[in-house]
Amino acid sequence: MNEANRAALTAALARPMESAIRYELLPIAGMQEAACELPHGAVVTVTCSPRHGLERTLQASEWLVGEGFRVVPHLAARLMRDRAHLEQVLGRLAALGIDDAFVVGGDTERPLGAYPHGLALLEAMDGHARRPARIGVPVYPEGHPRVEAMALQRDLAAKAGLADYAVSQLCFEAAPLLAWREQQRRAGLSLPVYAGIPGVMEPRRLLAIALRLGLGPSVRALQRQSGWLARLLKPSPYRPDALLEPLVTLLGDPLGGFVGLHVYTFNRVAPTHRWLEDRSGLVSSPSATIEPEGRAVTSAGEPLA
């Protein structure tokens, strides 16, 4: 990374936490150790899986708040049973002082209750006395494996009036992100957007995640890279330098660029945080180590439908 881009990244990450960088964690075994590798007060988003439901996400959020993090729980619409359940969840978030939530559809095949998709949950939360001050929604620069592009665009247009920001799906190259951002700028999308990037991780795991999430263009981008198969067999980790470089000068631009980075860590926090510090020149101290609570392992991540 050249000095100009390093300076731009440093400036972007020096802004207030809510507009700079967010680390996504999975509420599974090892989450607490992973969180302790982050600086005190970091913004941490907590995913939600159909196996453990919203309760696991809320429990993890409670622990993270207690440790001084700024927490953004994922609220999966298909896992919300009814209005009473929604009232309970919003009440717990308010009691914890959580003022930011990320509304997704969730990846369970059938909804448990009255909210079959993210838009339905957004509508139910609209105007609610305990609605978090900020609500985010997902966007799909590389498309969705089960939803056609026109439907995604209509869904985004409907959500834009009910949300405060958007987060892109995980991408492994900049081109789809940049092309999508320009398309949305021309279409008049006013939501600030966080660019979703992977953290530092083993190449084999990276490819497995991409295949599971149906990220065809990014998988092809990985395959186009010289010696990609050989690198999959090596222990050296993947680092998203080539992805970050074209995005750096657009960070901090809420209109035509990206307000910040949303880092999909898959709980590989320590190498990812060190990589970002190295790229930006920032130095921060991790929070004190806390004894981890045992958790059952579940699959990593959830589709952001």
Q: Give the pLDDT score at 286.
A: 39
Quick one: average pLDDT of 149-153? 93
**Residues above pLDDT 90, as percent of the chain:** 60
- Asked if residue 303 has pLDDT above 60, the reply is no
Please compute the mean of the pLDDT values over residues 107-125 and round it to a whole number.
Answer: 94
pLDDT digits (tens, 9 = 90+) for 54-107: 999 999 999 999 999 999 999 999 999 999 999 999 999 999 999 999 999 998
**Interatomic CA distance for residues 78 and 118, integer angstroms:** 8
User: Which pTM does this prediction carry?
Assistant: 0.84
| Residue predicted with more confidence, 7 or 265 | 265
What is the average pLDDT across 237-259?
A: 89
Determine what percent of the chain is predicted with pLDDT higher than 70.
78
Phi, psi of 189 (to 5 degrees): -65, 125
User: What integer is the mean pLDDT of 219-242?
Assistant: 63
pLDDT at 127 over 80: yes
Q: CA-to-CA distance for 209 and 93, rounded, in angstroms? A: 30
Q: What is the CA radius of gyration of the chain?
A: 18
Question: Domains along the chain?
Answer: 3-280 (3.20.20.220)
- In the numeric block, which tokens belong to residue 57? 């996400």
**Packed helices 216-224 and 174-187: angle between N→C axes, nearest 10 degrees:** 140
Contact, 23 vs 264, CB < 8 A?
no
Q: Which pLDDT value is given to residue 235?
A: 65
